[in-house]
Amino acid sequence: MTLPVLPSERAYLGFGLGLRPTHYETILNQSAPIDWLEIISENYLVPGGKPLHYLDRIRERYPLAMHGVSLSIGSSDPLDREYLKQLKALATRIEPAWISDHLCWTGVNGVNAHDLLPLAYTEETLKHVVARVNQAQDFLGRRILLENVSSYVTYLESEMSEWEFISEIAQRADCLILLDINNIYVSSFNHEFDPRTYLNAIPVERVQQFHLAGHRHHGNYIIDTHDEAIVDPVWDLYKTALRRFGKVSTMIERDDNIPPLSELLGELQQACEIARNILSPSIVSAV
Report if residue 38 touches Fe ion, rule: CB under 5 A.
no
Which among 71-79, 174-182, 229-237, 279-287 is the span making contact with Fe ion, rule CB under 5 A?
174-182
Q: Specify the residue, 61 or 208, whose C-beta has the smaller distance to Fe ion.
A: 208
Report if residue 215 touches Fe ion, rule: CB under 5 A.
no
Do the beta carbons of residue 100 and residue 133 sit within 8 Å? Answer: no
Cβ at position 257, least distance to Fe ion in Å: 16
Question: Among 10, 20, 23, 211, which residue interacts with Fe ion (rule: CB under 5 A)?
Answer: 211
Cβ at position 251, least distance to Fe ion in Å: 8
Which among 5-13, 130-138, 157-165, 175-183 is the span making contact with Fe ion, rule CB under 5 A?
175-183
Q: Specify the residue, 35 or 180, whose C-beta has the smaller distance to Fe ion.
A: 180
- β-sheet bridge partners, residue 223: 216
Do the beta carbons of residue 85 and residue 194 sit within 8 Å? Answer: no
Instruction: Annotate 197-253 with DSSP letters as a single string.
Output: HHHHHS-GGGEEEEEEE--EE-SS-EE--S-SPPPHHHHHHHHHHHHHH-S-EEEEE
198 by Cβ neighbours in 10 Å (0-12 / 13-18 / 19+) ranks as buried
How many of the chain's residues bind Fe ion (CB under 5 A)?
2
One-letter amino acid for residue 49 of the chain: G
Report if residue 180 touches Fe ion, rule: CB under 5 A.
yes
Cβ at position 283, least distance to Fe ion in Å: 22
Q: What is the contact mask toward Fe ion in residues 130 to 159, using x (rule: CB under 5 A)?
A: ------------------------------
Cβ at position 188, least distance to Fe ion in Å: 15
- Measured between alpha carbons, how far is 165 from 208 in angstroms, rounded to an integer? 17
- Measured between alpha carbons, how far is 286 from 15 in angstroms, rounded to an integer? 8
Rounded to whole angstroms, what are the CA distances from 146 to 26, 72, 193, 200? 30, 11, 21, 18
Which among 42-50, 89-97, 178-186, 234-242 is the span making contact with Fe ion, rule CB under 5 A?
178-186
Interface residue list for Fe ion (CB under 5 A):
180, 211
